[in-house]
Amino acid sequence: MPAAAAEPTLDIDGLLGDQRTRIVVCCGAGGVGKTTIAASLGLRAAEAGRRVVVLTIDPARRLAQSLGLSELDNTPRPVSGFDTSAGGTLDAMMLDMKRTFDEVVEAHATPEKAQQILANPFYQAVSSSFAGTQEYMAMEKLGQLRARAASEDTWDLIVVDTPPSRSALDFLDAPKRLGSFLDGRFIRLLMAPAKAGGRAYLKVFSSGVTMATSVMSKVLGGQVLQDVQTFVAALDTMFGGFRERADKTYALLKNPETAFVVVAAPERDALREASYFIDRLDQEGMPLAGVVVNRIQRVAATTLSRSRALAAAEQLAESRAGSDDPSETAGLTEGLLRLHASLAETAERQEALARRFAAGQPGIALVEVPAAASDIHDIEGLRAVGHALAAG
């Protein structure tokens, strides 16, 4: 394919077969097929003998079912129906963010304290709807799986799908946001009343603090402020190292054992988003394996050009109108030619977009995955995608 001529091809089998690769993160804009790519990579690695767990965030129902994920129970479950001859294993799980958050609380607080936190209305709101909880919990779960893989020797490869964020960058930013929030001045401010005789430096702000607290209680209502304070005080005692945990998971992503795979569709917006993400990974020093341009249109009748097909279609249309004895299939053949021309046009446009994208990202390995005729929701379909990924 033309794009491949100038750009290195992403060597999927090399990546998955390298025992040093322990984490593969699939990221990209919404609707580009991240989950399918993640599941296909996991399956291909397992069939090549790796012991794999796939963490999915929001799979399509039928895809989830085909992976045996009929329930969302936040625990990896074995997938059946794949080829185990190479000795690999495959588990899959679907993230339940509320449950993951609850587990964090339960694991790090005394039972009474945990009960107190879980019952706090502010906690309930934060754990189910705080902007970024899903991203943070995906990160948290990844940290947990990685720790378990190391301590129990259960898996040697973790494939992560990222949440359908408003922007692919949210996945990287949300944990930092939560970390800086819990570490931030405002939180200490909120806790000041809870810690009688608080820290000396707070006194510097004391007039601002009094004003801010009074504004907060005016705006939010006193009860909310009290709930927040209770929540934060409880968190403070249990998450001594909350910031460190977030930092540690973040650091894991910079480790060479991690490989980011950016997924994009051959469309302007998705490719733009992919470019942002690539730049960001570069800034953060995070290891990018390459880019998957997913669902690219291919033509089967490669030797017939678009213009030739259109010209022939016109000619058939004319002779059909003029002839007394037209061929029975002339109309159909004309349709085939027009269909081919339309597919070829789409293919050319997508190829041009992919090429322009590649030119803007010199040296980044790319692989194109042809569009499948129907949606992918079984092991066989995932295997075909995996094959296409490896074939480049």
Partner 1 sequence: MTAAASPHAGVRLHIVTGKGGTGKTTVAAALALALAQQGKRVLLAEVEERQGISQTFDVPPIGHDETRIVHERGGGELYALSVDVRESLMEYLQKFYKLGRAGTVLEKVGAVDFATTIAPGLRDVLLIGKVYEAAGRRRGGRHHDRGGPEYDAVVLDAPPTGRVVRFLNVNAEVADVARVGPIRTQADSITRLLRSHTTAVHVVSLLEEMPVQETVDALEELRKASLPLGAIVINQVNDPLLGSEGLAAVGARADGLSASVTADLKSASVRTSAAMVAGLLAEAEEHVDRVALQQEQEAVLLEQGRQVYRLPLLPEGTDAGGIRVLADALTEQGMI
Between 11 and 378, CB nearer to partner 1:
378
Can residue 329 be called a binding residue for partner 1 (CB under 8 A)? Answer: yes
Nearest approach, Cβ of 306 to partner 1 (angstroms)?
Answer: 12
Between 9 and 226, CB nearer to partner 1:
226
Q: Directed axis angle between helix 97-108 and helix 111-119, to 10°?
A: 150
Between 224 and 233, CB nearer to partner 1:
224
Can residue 226 be called a binding residue for partner 1 (CB under 8 A)? Answer: no
Between 78 and 331, CB nearer to partner 1:
331
Residues 286-325 that bind partner 1 (CB under 8 A): 299-304, 308, 311-313, 315-316, 319
Q: Which listed range, 14-22, 44-52, 126-134, 241-249, lies at the site for partner 1 (CB under 8 A)?
A: 126-134
CA 5 to chain centre: 28
Q: Which listed range, 15-23, 37-45, 222-230, 381-389, lies at the site for partner 1 (CB under 8 A)?
A: 222-230
Can residue 195 be called a binding residue for partner 1 (CB under 8 A)? Answer: no
Can residue 52 be called a binding residue for partner 1 (CB under 8 A)? Answer: no
Residues 200-219 that bind partner 1 (CB under 8 A): 205, 208-209, 211-212, 215-216, 218-219
Contact 264, 292 (CB under 8 A): yes
User: Which of 129, 67, 61, 58 is CA-nearest to residue 94?
Assistant: 58
Residue spans of alpha helices (H) in the chain: 2-6, 12-17, 34-47, 61-66, 97-108, 111-119, 121-129, 133-152, 170-183, 185-191, 200-204, 206-220, 222-238, 242-254, 268-284, 306-322, 330-360, 379-391
Can residue 118 be called a binding residue for partner 1 (CB under 8 A)? Answer: no
Can residue 254 be called a binding residue for partner 1 (CB under 8 A)? Answer: no
Number of residues in the chain = 392
Can residue 29 be called a binding residue for partner 1 (CB under 8 A)? Answer: yes
Of 333, 378, 384, 392, the one binding partner 1 by CB under 8 A:
333
Sequence-distant (≥ 6) Cβ neighbours of residue 28 within 8 angstroms: 34, 162, 168, 262, 263, 264, 270, 273, 274, 277
Of 47, 140, 161, 227, the one binding partner 1 by CB under 8 A:
227
Can residue 131 be called a binding residue for partner 1 (CB under 8 A)? Answer: yes
Nearest approach, Cβ of 160 to partner 1 (angstroms)?
Answer: 18
Q: Which listed range, 10-18, 46-54, 251-259, 331-339, lies at the site for partner 1 (CB under 8 A)?
A: 331-339
Query: The tokens of 120 are what?
Result: 């706090």
Query: The tokens of 13 are what?
Result: 């089998």
Between 308 and 383, CB nearer to partner 1:
308
Can residue 62 be called a binding residue for partner 1 (CB under 8 A)? Answer: yes
Please, what is the Cα angle at 209 between 207 and 211, to 5 degrees? 70
Between 236 and 267, CB nearer to partner 1:
267
Give the contact letters, 146-185, x = binds to partner 1 (CB under 8 A), - = no.
------------------x-xx---------xx--x--xx
Neighbours of 380 (CB within 10 A): 11
Sequence-distant (≥ 6) Cβ neighbours of residue 137 within 8 angstroms: 95, 97, 100, 101
Of 32, 246, 291, 293, the one binding partner 1 by CB under 8 A:
32
Of 129, 206, 237, 255, the one binding partner 1 by CB under 8 A:
129
Strand order in the sheet with 51-56: 77-78, 89-94, 51-56, 157-161, 23-27, 258-264, 288-296, 366-370
Can residue 340 be called a binding residue for partner 1 (CB under 8 A)? Answer: yes
Can residue 106 be called a binding residue for partner 1 (CB under 8 A)? Answer: no
Nearest approach, Cβ of 75 to partner 1 (angstroms)?
Answer: 22
Can residue 107 be called a binding residue for partner 1 (CB under 8 A)? Answer: no
Both ends of the chain: CA-CA distance in Å? 9
Amino acid identity, residue 308? Answer: R
Residue whose entry in the numeric block shows the structure tokens 């190391």? 150
- Beta pairing class for 77-78 and 89-94: antiparallel
Can residue 125 be called a binding residue for partner 1 (CB under 8 A)? Answer: yes
Q: Directed axis angle between helix 242-254 and helix 133-152, to 10°?
A: 70
